[in-house]
C-alpha cells in the first residue's frame, strides 16, 4: 500500500507547487474513516482509493482531483458525511466527492433499461466537472485490475459493462492508454481462452521480430537525422484486444495479420511532422489508402497525429504514427493532459473552448433533454462511442465529423435537426446521390430540403449516429401523435354533435382535471388511440349529460362521398385512403373500396380499421359498441387505389392463370398477391389481392372474369 509521503512525492514530481498539506489531510482522513475495512481480495479497503489516486498521478492531475480520489469512497462506505468533507476540504473537493458518491450509488450492473437510466445519471453527474469522470475511470481501472476476486457471474457483467461504456468513454476523452488497458482486462475476463491464445501468439511473434523491430527503429532514426530532424522512434506491439477485434472485423486468422507492430515517431514541431512524412514516403513505398492526417483535421477527442503505412525493411508492412511530444501527451492522456488541470483551475467554459472531447461530452449530455427513453439513450450513445470517424464538408466549408459508415441523412442531422427532418435528397461532390450513400473522407455534401417533409420511420434503422436516430424517432412520434390528435378531434366533434352539446377547446380544457390529462392534445390523442372513450369526455365537459357513450354503432353506416353511394354523405369522419392525415388501415381480409358502405373500428394504439358493412369480421365487435366509428369516403385528395380481394375457381389447364392476370391488367387493376391451392384434379382455388380505383372498377373486373371459360366461379371476399 502506498505510503503518505509517496503520494505527496508522486504529485510533487509534476507539480512542485502542489498543496502538500491538503494531500496529507486527505490521506489521514480517508485512512481513519476506512479503518479496518477489507476488500473481496482480503486487502485493506484503504488501498483501493490510494491506487485510484496513483493512476491519476500518472495522468498528472491537480491536487484537488488527487485528494477527491483518496476520499471518493468515504461518504458512501464510512461514517463520514458530505458536510464534513465540505468543511474540512472545501466546496470544490466536496463537489467532486458528491458527484462520485452519486455515481457509486448507481447499480450499473443491471438490466439494459436500468443500465441506460443509470448511464444518463452518470453523465449528468459529470456535467459540472469532467474531473468526476476521470476519477471514475481510474476507479473502474483499478477495480478491473482486481476483478479476479469477484464471483464469476458478477465478473462477467462488470467486464461487459466496462467494454460497452467505460473503455469507449475513456477513448472519447482521448485517454488511449487507459482505454486499451480497460479493453484488455475486459477481454481477459470475457473470453480468457481467446485472450490467452492471442497473448501467446504475440509473445512468439515478438521473440522472432525483435531484431527486425530494432532494425526499423535504427533505419528510421538515421534517415531522419540525416535530414536534420531529431526524432524519438519506438516500436510497440498491438494490444491483445486490438488484435482480436481486427481478426473479428476482417474475418482473418492471426497468421494473416501483417501489422502486429506499429512505430511512433516523436519530433519537435508540426513542421517536422510533415518533413518526416516526406522522408518516410520517399524512402519506402506507401500502402495506398492507409494515409490519414489527423493534424489538419483532429479527431473529436483532440487526437492529432499523421498515420501512414509503408513497405519497410524485409518487405514488411510498417504502420507509422508521426506527432510532436505535445500531441503524444494528448494522444495518451487525452483531456487529462490539458494544461488547465496542471494549473489546478476549474473553468469549464475555458475547457469547452479548448477541448473537442469535452464539447462532445457536453453535446451527449444535451441529448438527455430530448426525451428519449433510457434504453434508447444508451443505444444511441454507444453507437457514437464505438465508431471511427470520417470528415465531410458543407458547401460553405464547415467541417462535419461523423462515425464511419455514416450517410447523408446522418450528415443532415449533424448540421441541424431541422435540416435532417426536411431532407429529401442530396448531392455529394456536386453529383446527385442516394441519401443512403456511405460517406467518405473529404466528401462535400449538399442536402436538398422540402418544407413540410417528415422523415420516414424506416430511416431510423439506416442511420448510424445517435443524434439522427433520436431525431427520426422523435419526429415519427410527433407525426403519429399529430395523426391521433386529428382523429381524436374528429371523433369528439361527432360525439358532441350526437349528444346535442357544443364542442369547444376552451370547454375541453376546463375538464382536463376530471380527465386526468395535462393538455388538450393529450385528451385528443388518447381518444384517437382508443385509450379514452368519447362519451367519457362528453360527460366530463357536461356533468349533467346522462346519454350514452356518444360513439355508438350507427344503424345505417355511411358509404357516401362524391360517388353518390350511401346516405348522409355529409356526416361521418372522411376517409381519404392510406395517405390520409389520420392513422387508418383497411380490413386485412378483403380491404374496402370507394362505393362500399363502410364502418370504422377503433383499435387502441393502432388507429382505425375500415371494413365494408357486409364484412363478416364485424361480428367480432358486436359487444364493443364504443369502438364503432361513423366514417365516409372523401376523394378531395385525388385518385388513389384501394385494396380488395377476390376468390375464384379456375379450370386446371395450361395458361389459365395467364388469362386471369390478363383480364385484370386489361382493366387497369394491379395484382399485389396471388395464392393458389389445388381443389381437385380439374379445379384450382385462386385468391388474388389487388388494388382498384373504386367499387365500379372492381365489379367490372369480376364481370369480365366470370365471362372467361377458364373461370367457373368468382366472388369478392369481404372478410
Sequence-separated (6 or more) residues with CB below 8 Å from residue 401: 297, 299, 300, 389, 390, 391
Q: Taking 90 as the threshold, does the pLDDT of residue 387 lie above it?
A: no
pLDDT at 664: 93
Please give the torsion angle defined by the CA atoms of residues 69, 70, 76 and 79, in that order, rounded to the nearest 10 degrees.
-160
In a domain, 205, yes or no: yes
Top pLDDT among 664 and 261 is at 664
| Domain presence at residue 547 | no
Are 199 and 124 part of one and the same domain? no
Q: What are the beta bridge partners of residue 631?
A: 573
In 3-state terms, the chain is what percent helix, strand and coil (to 5)?
A: 50, 15, 30
165 and 20 in a common domain: yes
Q: With residue 425 as reference, give the H or E element that holds it.
A: strand 423-428
Positive or negative torsion for Cα 49, 51, 55, 57: positive
Judged by average pLDDT, the poorest of 52-56, 308-312, 483-487, 668-672 is 483-487
Q: Kindly give the pairing relationship between strand 317-324 and strand 306-311.
A: antiparallel
Confirm whether 653 is domain-assigned. Answer: yes
Confidence of residue 407 (pLDDT cuts 50, 70, 90): very high
CA dihedral 74, 75, 78, 80 (to 10 degrees): 100
pLDDT tens, residue by residue, 106-132? 444 444 445 555 556 566 656 667 788
Q: Which residue has the higher pLDDT, 373 or 475?
A: 475
CATH number of 713's domain: 3.30.70.260
Residue 217's SS3 state is helix
The whole-number pLDDT of residue 533 equals 80
The three three-digit cell numbers of residue 502, written as one number: 357544443
598 in Cβ contact with 592 (< 8 Å) = yes
CA distance 541 to 511: 5
pLDDT at res. 126: 63
Q: Which of 5-19, 160-174, 554-568 comes out lowest in average pLDDT? A: 554-568
Strands 711-717 and 670-678, sheet pairing: unpaired
> What pLDDT digit, counting tens, does each position of 267-307 carry?
999 999 999 999 999 888 888 878 889 898 887 777 889 99
Residues 332 and 59: their CA atoms lie apart, in Å, by 9
Of 167, 178, 162, 173, the closest CA to residue 55 belongs to: 178
Shared domain check, 184 and 99: yes
In a domain, 441, yes or no: no
Lowest pLDDT segment from 59-63, 452-456, 650-654, 666-670? 452-456
CA–CA separation, 326 vs 298, rounded Å?
14
Q: Does position 208 have pLDDT exceeding 50, yes or no?
A: yes
Domain that holds residue 511: 475-541
Q: Tell me the three state secondary structure of residue 443.
A: coil
Question: What is the residue-averaged pLDDT of the chain?
Answer: 81
In this structure, the answer to whether residues 162 and 51 fall within a common structural domain is: yes
CA geometry: angle at 237 spanning 321 and 212, to 5°? 90
Contact 559/566 with Cβ under 8 angstroms? yes
For residue 633, tell me if it sits in a domain. no
Q: Which of 20, 43, 58, 76 is catalytic?
A: 76
What was the pLDDT predicted at 105? Answer: 56
Same domain, 152 and 200: no
- The burial class, CB within 10 Å (0-12 / 13-18 / 19+), for 210 is exposed
Count of structural domains, the chain:
4
pLDDT of residue 552: 39
Does residue 55 share a domain with residue 174?
yes
d(CA 503, CA 490): 11
Of 191, 218, 206, which Cα lies nearest the Cα of 260? 206
Q: How confident is the model at residue 350 (pLDDT cuts 50, 70, 90)?
A: very low
Tell me the pLDDT tens digit for each residue of 10-51.
999 988 998 999 999 999 999 999 988 888 888 899 999 999
Which is more confidently placed, 334 or 10?
A: 10
Residue 85 burial (CB < 10 Å; 0-12/13-18/19+)? Answer: buried
pLDDT at 368 > cutoff 80:
no
Range 545-560 average pLDDT: 49
Pairing of strands 631-633, 670-678: unpaired
Say what the pLDDT of residue 456 is.
86
Banded pLDDT at 333 (limits 50, 70, 90): confident
Judgement on whether residues 529 and 675 belong to the same structural domain of the protein: no
Residue 362 falls within a domain, yes or no?
Answer: no
- Looking at 320, 336, 352, the residue that finishes a domain is 336
Secondary structure letter of residue 395 according to DSSP? T
Q: Is the pLDDT of residue 177 over 60?
A: yes
Q: What's 158's domain CATH number? A: 1.10.3210.10
Question: Residues 299-322: what's their mean pLDDT?
Answer: 83
Whether 180 is catalytic:
no
Name the grid cell of 25: 489531510
| Domain CATH for 204 | 3.30.460.10
Q: Annotated catalytic, 76? A: yes
pLDDT of 453 strictly over 90: no
Count CB neighbours of 400 within 10 A: 18
Is pLDDT at 551 greater than 50 in this prediction? no
Tell me which of 147, 176, 192 is where a domain ends: 192
- Could you tell me if 530 and 659 lie in one domain? no
Cβ-Cβ contacts under 8 Å for 465 (sequence gap 6 or more): 380, 383, 384, 402, 403, 406, 410, 413, 414
Distance CA 591, CA 695 (A): 12
Q: What is the pTM of this model?
A: 0.56
> pLDDT higher for 388 or 67?
67
What average pLDDT does range 551-557 have in this prediction?
A: 41
Residues 248 and 116 in one domain: no
* Length of the chain as a residue count: 719
So what's the pLDDT on residue 560? 43
pLDDT in tens, 580-630: 556 778 888 888 888 888 888 888 767 788 899 888 888 888 887 778 887
Q: Is the pLDDT of residue 427 over 90?
A: yes
In a domain, 532, yes or no: yes
Range name among 225-234, 564-573, 699-708 with the lowest pLDDT average: 564-573
Grid coordinates in use for 695?
367499387
**Bridge pairing between strands 607-612 and 584-586:** parallel
Contact 377, 368 (CB under 8 A): yes
Q: Cβ distance 587 to 719 under 8 Å?
A: yes
| Domain identity same for 536 and 653 | no
pLDDT of residue 487: 78
- pLDDT at position 153, please? 86
| Residue 399 lies inside a defined structural domain of this protein | no
Provide φ and ψ at 306, rounded to 5°: -105, 130
Domain C-terminal end among 541, 559, 582: 541
pLDDT given for residue 367 in this prediction? 53
Q: Choose the catalytic residue: 43, 58, 77, 672.
A: 77
Whether residue 165 sits in one domain with residue 253: no
Task: Count Cβ atoms below 10 Å from residue 72 Cβ, excluding itself.
Answer: 27
Residue 681 CA to its chain's centroid (Å): 56
Q: Specify the DSSP class assigned to residue 239.
A: P
pLDDT value at 386 more than 80: no
pLDDT at 709 over 70: yes
- What's the distance, CA 626 to chain centroid? 39
| Least confident residue range of 206-215, 229-238, 664-673 | 206-215
- What pLDDT is attached to residue 115? 52
Judgement on whether residues 229 and 133 belong to the same structural domain of the protein: no
Amino acid at each position: 500500500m502506498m505510503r503518505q509521503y509517496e503520494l505527496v512525492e508522486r504529485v510533487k514530481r509534476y507539480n512542485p507547487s502542489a498543496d502538500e498539506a491538503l494531500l496529507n489531510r486527505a490521506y489521514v482522513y480517508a485512512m481513519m474513516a476506512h479503518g479496518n475495512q477489507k476488500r473481496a481480495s482480503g486487502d485493506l479497503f484503504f488501498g483501493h482509493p490510494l491506487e485510484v489516486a496513483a493512476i491519476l498521478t500518472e495522468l498528472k492531475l491537480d491536487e484537488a482531483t488527487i485528494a477527491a480520489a483518496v476520499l471518493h469512497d468515504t461518504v458512501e462506505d464510512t461514517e463520514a458525511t458530505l458536510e464534513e468533507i465540505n468543511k474540512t476540504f472545501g466546496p470544490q473537493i466536496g463537489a467532486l466527492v458528491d458527484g462520485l458518491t452519486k455515481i457509486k450509488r448507481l447499480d450499473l450492473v443491471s438490466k439494459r433499461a436500468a443500465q441506460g437510466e443509470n448511464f444518463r445519471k452518470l453523465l449528468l453527474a459529470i456535467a459540472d466537472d469532467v474531473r468526476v469522470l476521470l476519477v471514475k475511470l481510474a476507479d473502474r481501472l483499478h477495480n478491473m485490475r482486481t476483478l479476479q476476486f469477484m464471483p464469476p457471474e458478477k465478473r462477467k457483467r462488470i467486464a461487459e459493462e466496462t467494454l460497452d461504456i467505460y473503455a469507449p468513454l475513456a477513448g472519447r476523452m482521448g485517454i488511449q492508454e487507459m482505454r486499451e488497458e480497460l479493453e484488455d482486462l475486459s477481454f481477459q475476463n470475457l473470453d480468457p481462452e481467446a485472450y490467452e491464445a492471442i497473448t501467446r501468439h504475440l509473445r512468439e511473434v515478438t521473440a522472432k521480430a525483435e531484431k527486425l523491430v530494432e532494425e526499423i527503429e535504427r533505419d528510421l532514426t538515421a534517415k531522419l537525422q540525416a535530414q536534420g530532424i531529431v526524432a524519438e522512434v519506438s516500436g510497440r506491439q498491438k494490444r491483445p484486444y486490438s488484435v482480436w477485434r481486427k481478426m473479428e472485423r476482417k474475418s482473418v486468422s492471426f497468421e494473416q495479420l501483417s501489422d502486429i507492430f506499429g512505430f511512433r515517431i516523436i519530433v519537435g514541431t508540426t513542421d517536422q511532422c510533415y518533413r518526416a512524412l516526406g522522408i518516410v514516403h520517399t524512402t519506402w513505398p506507401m500502402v495506398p489508402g492507409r494515409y490519414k492526417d489527423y493534424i489538419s483535421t483532429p479527431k473529436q477527442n483532440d487526437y492529432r497525429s499523421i498515420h501512414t503505412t509503408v513497405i519497410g525493411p524485409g518487405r514488411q508492412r510498417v504502420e507509422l504514427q508521426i506527432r510532436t511530444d505535445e500531441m503524444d501527451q494528448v494522444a495518451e492522456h487525452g483531456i487529462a493532459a490539458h494544461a488547465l488541470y496542471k494549473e489546478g483551475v476549474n473553468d469549464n467554459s475555458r475547457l469547452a473552448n479548448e477541448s473537442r472531447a469535452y464539447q462532445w461530452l457536453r453535446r451527449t449530455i444535451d441529448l438527455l433533454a430530448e426525451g428519449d427513453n433510457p434504453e434508447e439513450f444508451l443505444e444511441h450513445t454507444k453507437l457514437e462511442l464505438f465508431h471511427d470517424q470520417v470528415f465531410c464538408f458543407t458547401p460553405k466549408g464547415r467541417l462535419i465529423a461523423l462515425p464511419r459508415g455514416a450517410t447523408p441523412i446522418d450528415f443532415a442531422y449533424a448540421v441541424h435537426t431541422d435540416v435532417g427532418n426536411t431532407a429529401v435528397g442530396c448531392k455529394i461532390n456536386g453529383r446527385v446521390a442516394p441519401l443512403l450513400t456511405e460517406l467518405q473522407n473529404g466528401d462535400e455534401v449538399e442536402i436538398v430540403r422540402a418544407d413540410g417533409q417528415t422523415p420516414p420511420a424506416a430511416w431510423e434503422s439506416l442511420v448510424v449516429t445517435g443524434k439522427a436516430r433520436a431525431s427520426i424517432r422523435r419526429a415519427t412520434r410527433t407525426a403519429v401523435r399529430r395523426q391521433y390528435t386529428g382523429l381524436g378531434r374528429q371523433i369528439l366533434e361527432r360525439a358532441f354533435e350526437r349528444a346535442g352539446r357544443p364542442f369547444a377547446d376552451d370547454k375541453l380544457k376546463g375538464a382536463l382535471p376530471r380527465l386526468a390529462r395535462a393538455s388538450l392534445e393529450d385528451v385528443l390523442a388518447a381518444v384517437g388511440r382508443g385509450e379514452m372513450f368519447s362519451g367519457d369526455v362528453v360527460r366530463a365537459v357536461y356533468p349533467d349529460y346522462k346519454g350514452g357513450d356518444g360513439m355508438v354503432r350507427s344503424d345505417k353506416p355511411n358509404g357516401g362521398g362524391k360517388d353518390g353511394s350511401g346516405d348522409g354523405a355529409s356526416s361521418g369522419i372522411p376517409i381519404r385512403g392510406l395517405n390520409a392525415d389520420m392513422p387508418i388501415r383497411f380490413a386485412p381480409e378483403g380491404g374496402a373500396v370507394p362505393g362500399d358502405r363502410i364502418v370504422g373500428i377503433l383499435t387502441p394504439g393502432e388507429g382505425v380499421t375500415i371494413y365494408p358493412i357486409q364484412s363478416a369480421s364485424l361480428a367480432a365487435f358486436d359487444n364493443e359498441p364504443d369502438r364503432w366509428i361513423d366514417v365516409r369516403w372523401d376523394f378531395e385528395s385525388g385518385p388513389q387505389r384501394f385494396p380488395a380481394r377476390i376468390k375464384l375457381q379456375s379450370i386446371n389447364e395450361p395458361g389459365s392463370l395467364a388469362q386471369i392476370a390478363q383480364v385484370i391488367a386489361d382493366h387497369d387493376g394491379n395484382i399485389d398477391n396471388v395464392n393458389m391451392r389445388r381443389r381437385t384434379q380439374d379445379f384450382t382455388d385462386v385468391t388474388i389481392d389487388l388494388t382498384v380505383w373504386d367499387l365500379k372498377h372492381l365489379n367490372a373486373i369480376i364481370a369480365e372474369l366470370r365471362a372467361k371459360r377458364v373461370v367457373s366461379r368468382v366472388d369478392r371476399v369481404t372478410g
